[in-house]
């Protein structure tokens, strides 16, 4: 997945480069800067002393010393002064400069903290939005895996409005298994069992319409009765996930690259799916493509079914996905922000 949000201590990230939220002296400080210098050892400060400082909005690169990364990119974010002093442009410039430095050193993996969002006071939700937008824009043109590292849950907020809208949507739709008491579950199980027996006993005598209806209850049983042989049954195999994906990409007018980048899927995984007609993606990958293709809810369900998955109201992940599709918000990065806020796995590979 080219852009991931993870919760971790950035000094533990095993990547090619980590980014430090430094100050213009580049001589160390508190916050993540202090953690990085402590973990890297005194040689890092010695190299920083040779750099002659750095302007706000820019970045300089050093080796990683005792850290598990090859490089540290020291980016100097703006102090928050109310939002009208060019803070936004400076913060964007920090991310861009850092990414260009990482690219020059041929880094394949880079981890960022939320620059300026601690001691420098940049509002966290805005800092996160800038990080996501700037990094995802860069990833449209470049192959790299970038992590946004969130130190602690409290340091992380999506906008309150979005959070409460999603929370309300989950409340309205969530089927809480605890409300489903034992006798109720037993009743449902019995009902399902009864339906299966009815299907087995009666399927051969049904008209085509009735068979279609029964298919929704017991598709396997009906299919196997209707087909003359296993060969016949296999001959009726539907369009696969990969075939549907490629067809939908063609219909959308997008290029393959536009689609997998919008889905936050890396090129290698896309090539695998493309070359294997029977490729079975994970559920988050399948959904990521449905989102990139801006499919309706029904089409999304159809595409998921081809990969053996469904959307249900029994888990928050599915409901959050449904919320974004219903609201025609197909920005995979915003969806990932929300999934992260609700402790769900993220879309992409």
The residues binding ligand AR6 (CB under 6 A) are: 9-11, 21-23, 29-33, 35, 77, 113-120, 149, 151, 155
Nearer to ligand AR6, 131 or 245 (CB): 131
CB of 36 to ligand AR6, least distance (A): 7
Which stretches of the chain are DSSP H helices? 31-40, 42-49, 87-104, 124-141, 160-173, 182-202, 208-215, 219-226, 230-235, 241-252, 256-262, 267-275, 283-292, 297-306, 316-326, 332-341
Nearer to ligand AR6, 121 or 313 (CB): 121
CA angle 7–10–14, rounded 5-degree value: 100
Nearer to ligand AR6, 17 or 115 (CB): 115
Nearer to ligand AR6, 13 or 263 (CB): 13
Nearer to ligand AR6, 115 or 292 (CB): 115
CB of 27 to ligand AR6, least distance (A): 8
CB of 132 to ligand AR6, least distance (A): 14
| CB-based contact 139:348 (threshold 8 Å) | no
Which residue, 194, 38, 14, is CA-closest to 109? 14
Question: What does the CA dihedral 151, 108, 141, 147 come to, rounded to 10 degrees?
Answer: -10
Phi, psi for residue 5 in degrees, rounded to 5: -105, 125
Nearer to ligand AR6, 35 or 305 (CB): 35
CB of 114 to ligand AR6, least distance (A): 4
Residue recorded with tokens 């750095």: 54
CB of 154 to ligand AR6, least distance (A): 8
Record the tokens describing residue 27, joined without a space: 């001589």
């Amino acid at each position: 997945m080219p852009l991931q949000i993870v919760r971790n201590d950035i000094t533990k990230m095993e990547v090619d480069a980590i980014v430090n939220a430094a100050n213009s002296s580049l001589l160390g400080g508190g916050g993540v800067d202090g953690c990085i210098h402590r973990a890297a050892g005194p040689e890092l400060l010695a190299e920083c002393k040779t750099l002659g400082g750095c302007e706000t909005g820019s970045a300089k690169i050093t080796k990683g010393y005792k850290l598990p990364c090859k490089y540290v990119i020291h980016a100097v974010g703006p102090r928050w002064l109310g939002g009208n002093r060019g803070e936004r442009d400076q913060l964007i410039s920090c991310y861009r400069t850092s990414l260009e430095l990482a690219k020059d050193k041929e880094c394949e993996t880079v981890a960022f903290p939320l620059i300026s969002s601690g001691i420098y006071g940049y509002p966290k939700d805005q800092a996160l939005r800038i990080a996501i937008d700037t990094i995802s824009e860069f990833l449209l043109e470049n192959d790299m895996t970038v992590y946004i590292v969130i130190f602690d849950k409290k340091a992380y907020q999506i906008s309150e409005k979005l959070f409460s809208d999603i929370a309300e949507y989950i409340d309205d739709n969530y089927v809480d298994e605890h409300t489903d008491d034992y006798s109720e579950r037993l009743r449902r199980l019995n009902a399902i069992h009864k339906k299966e027996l009815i299907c087995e006993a009666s399927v051969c005598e049904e008209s085509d319409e009735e068979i279609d209806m029964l298919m929704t209850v017991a598709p396997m049983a009906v299919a196997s009765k209707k087909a003359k042989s296993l060969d016949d049954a296999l001959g009726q195999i539907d369009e696969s996930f990969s075939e549907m994906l490629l067809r939908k990409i063609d219909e959308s007018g997008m290029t393959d690259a536009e689609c997998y980048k919008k889905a936050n899927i890396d090129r290698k995984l896309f090539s695998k799916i493309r070359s294997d007609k029977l490729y079975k993606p994970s559920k988050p990958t399948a959904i990521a493509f449905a989102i990139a293709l801006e499919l309706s809810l029904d089409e999304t369900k159809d595409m998921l079914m081809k990969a053996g998955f469904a959307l249900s109201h029994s888990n928050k992940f599915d409901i959050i996905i449904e919320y974004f599709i219903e609201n025609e918000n197909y920005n995979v990065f915003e969806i990932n922000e929300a999934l992260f806020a609700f402790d769900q796995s993220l879309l992409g590979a």
